[in-house]
Structure 1
Amino acid sequence: MDIILCDELLQEIFHRLPPPPSSAVSLVSKRWRRLLRSSTSSLTLRLSHHHPYPSFPSFLSDHTHLNSLTITTIISDHLLLSISGNCPNLTHLNLSGGSVSLHALLSLSTSCPLLNSLSLVLSRPVTSLRFLSSFPNLKAINLTLVGNTSVSDHFISSSTEEELLNLQSIHLSGIRPGDYAVNFLWSTCNHKALSHLGFQNCEGVGDYYYSFSTFIKGLQNLNQLQLKTCRSIITLILLNLADNPYNSLSSLLIYDGANKESLLHFLRETNCNLQKLDLRLPLDLDDSHLFEIGTKFNRLNVLRLQSCCMVTGEALKTLGLALTNLEELGLTNCDVINGQTGFLVELAQNLRNIKVLDLSYNHTLADKEFALMISSFCNLRKLKLRGCSRLTNVSLVSLCKNCQRLESVDMLYCNGIQEEGVEFVILNSAELRNLRVEDRKLTEAARRWMAHKFIEVQS
Structure 2
Amino acid sequence: MRGRDLINTVLPDELLLEIFRRLDGFKSTCDSCSLVCKRWLKLDRSSRRTIRLGSSGSPDIFVSLIVRKFIDIRNVFIDERLPVSSPFPSAGSSLGHGIPRPVLRKRRGGNKIALSASKLRYVATNSGSEESDLESSTLSDDGLTVLAEGCPRLNKLSLIWCSNVTSTGLKSIAENCKALKSLDLQGCYVGDQGLAAVGECCKQLEDLSLRFCEGLTDKGLTELAVGCGKSLKSLGVAACAKITDISLEAVGSHCTSLQTLSLDSEFIKNKGVLAVARGCPCLKALKLQCINVTDEALLAVGCFCLSLELLALYSFQRFTDRSLCAIGNGCKKLNNLTLSDCYFLSDKSLEAIAGGCTELTHLEVNGCHNIGTSGLEFIGRSCPGLSELALLYCQRIGNNGLLEVGRGCTLLQALHLVDCSNIGDDAICNIAQGCRNLKKLHIRRCYEIGDKGIIAVGENCKFLTDLSLRFCDRVGDDALIAIGQGCSLRHLNVSGCHKIGDAGLRAIARGCPQLVYLDVSVLQNLGDMALAELGEGCPLLKDIVLSHCRKITDIGLGHLVKRCTRLESCHMVYCPFVTSAGVATVVSSCVNIKRVLVEKWKVSQRTRRRAASILSYLCVDL
Q: Same fold (TM over 0.5)?
A: yes
Residue 203 of structure 1: aligned partner: 292
Would the aligned equivalents of 2:199 and 2:226 in 1 still touch at CA under 8 Å? no
CA distance in 2, matches of 1:78, 1:4: 38
Structure 1 pair 412–67 and aligned structure 2 pair: CA distance change class (3 A) = farther
Q: How many Å separate the matches in 2 of 1:281 and 1:289?
A: 14
State the SS of the aligned residue for 2:185: strand
Once residues 438 and 595 of structure 2 are traced to their aligned partners in structure 1, the CA distance between those partners, rounded to angstroms, is 24
Map 1:16-415 to 2 at 5 A. Answer: 34-35=68-69, 38-39=72-73, 41-46=75-80, 53-63=141-151, 66-73=154-161, 74=163, 76-98=166-188, 100-121=190-211, 126=218, 129=222, 131-135=224-228, 136-147=230-241, 162-163=253-254, 165-176=256-267, 178=269, 180-189=271-280, 191=281, 193-204=282-293, 209=296, 213-233=299-319, 235=321, 237-244=323-330, 247-258=332-343, 259-260=345-346, 263-264=349-350, 266-267=352-353, 269-337=355-423, 340-362=424-446, 365-367=449-451, 369-388=453-472, 391=475, 395-404=479-488, 406=489, 408-411=490-493, 413-414=495-496
* Alignment CA distance shift 1:187-1:318 (3 Å): closer
Contact residue 282 and residue 309 of structure 1 kept, 8 A: no
Confirm or deny: 8 A CA contact 1:426 1:446 kept in the other structure: no
Mean CA deviation greater in 125-134 or 85-94: 125-134
| Aligned-partner SS, 1:380 | coil
CA contact (8 A) 1:332 1:362 kept: yes
Per-residue deviation, 1:204: 1.5
Secondary structure at the aligned position of 1:227 is classed as: strand
Residue 84 of structure 1 deviates from its aligned partner by: 2.1
Instruction: Note the C-alpha offset of 1:112.
Output: 2.4
Give the whole-Å Cα distance in 2 for the aligned partners of 1:229 and 1:56: 38
Percent sequence identity is 18
8 Å contact from structure 1 (residues 162, 188) kept in 2: yes
Q: Which whole-Å CA distance do the structure 2 matches of 1:156 and 1:3 have between them?
A: 54
Q: Greater shift after overlay, 385-394 or 77-86?
A: 385-394
Deviation of residue 230 (structure 1)? 2.1
Q: 1:119 Cα deviation (Å)?
A: 0.9
- Which residues of structure 1 form unaligned runs of 5+? none
Partner deviation per Cα, 1:129-187 (whole Å, 9 max, x = no partner): 4632421421111122533799xxx9899699945610111111114465745544234
Q: Alignment partner of 1:222: what SS? A: coil
Q: Deviations over 1:4-32 (max 9, x none)?
A: 34444444997899999xx9xx999x978
Bigger RCO (CA 8 Å, 6+ sep) = 1
- Aligned residue identity for 1:381: T
1:429 maps to amino acid: C
Distance across 2 between alignment mates of 1:65 and 1:425: 51
**1:32 and 1:157, CA in 2 relative to 1: closer, same or farther beyond 3 A?**
closer
**In 1, are the aligned partners of 2:470 and 2:497 still within 8 Å (CA)?**
no
1:104 is paired with a residue whose SS is helix
* Cα distance in 1 between the residues matched to 2:251 and 2:496: 58
Distance (whole Å) between structure 2 residues aligned to residue 262 and residue 125 of structure 1: 39
Going from structure 1 to structure 2, the CA distance change for 1:324 and 1:67 (only over 3 Å counts) comes to same
Report deviation, 1:103. Answer: 3.1
Gaps of 5+ in 2: 1-34, 82-133, 520-542, 548-556, 569-591, 597-622
Q: Distance in 2 between matches of 1:147 and 1:117?
A: 21
What is the one-letter code of the residue matched to 1:44? I
CA 1:374/1:102 → structure 2, altered by over 3 Å: closer, same or farther?
same
Q: Deviations over 1:267-292 (max 9, x none)?
A: 36525421221211351220120222
- Give how far 1:234 is off: 5.4
How far is 1:62 from its partner? 4.2
Query: Aligned residue for 2:29?
Result: none
Residue type at the aligned position of 2:257: N
Give distance in 1, aligned partners of 2:388 and 2:354.
19
Q: TM-score, normalised by structure 1?
A: 0.77
What is the distance in 2 between the residues matched to 1:134 and 1:291? 48
State which structure, 1 or 2, has the greater radius of gyration over its C-alpha atoms: 2
Provide the residue aligned with 1:445 in structure 2: 562
**Greater displacement, 59-68 / 229-238:** 59-68
Q: Distance in 2 between matches of 1:133 and 1:256?
A: 35
C-alpha RMSD over aligned residues: 4.6
Q: How many Å apart are 1:114 and its aligned residue?
A: 2.5
Aligned residue pairs, count: 441
- Distance in 2, Cα, partners of 1:14 & 1:434: 32
- Within 1, Cα distance between the matches of 2:135 and 2:50? 32
TM-score with structure 2 length normalisation?
Answer: 0.59
CA distance in 2, matches of 1:65, 1:388: 53
Counterpart Cα distance in 2 of 1:423 and 1:69: 48
Retained in 1: the 8 A contact 2:51–2:73? Answer: no
Deviations for 1:181-207, whole angstroms, at most 9, x for unmatched residues?
554423421x1x2211111244226x9
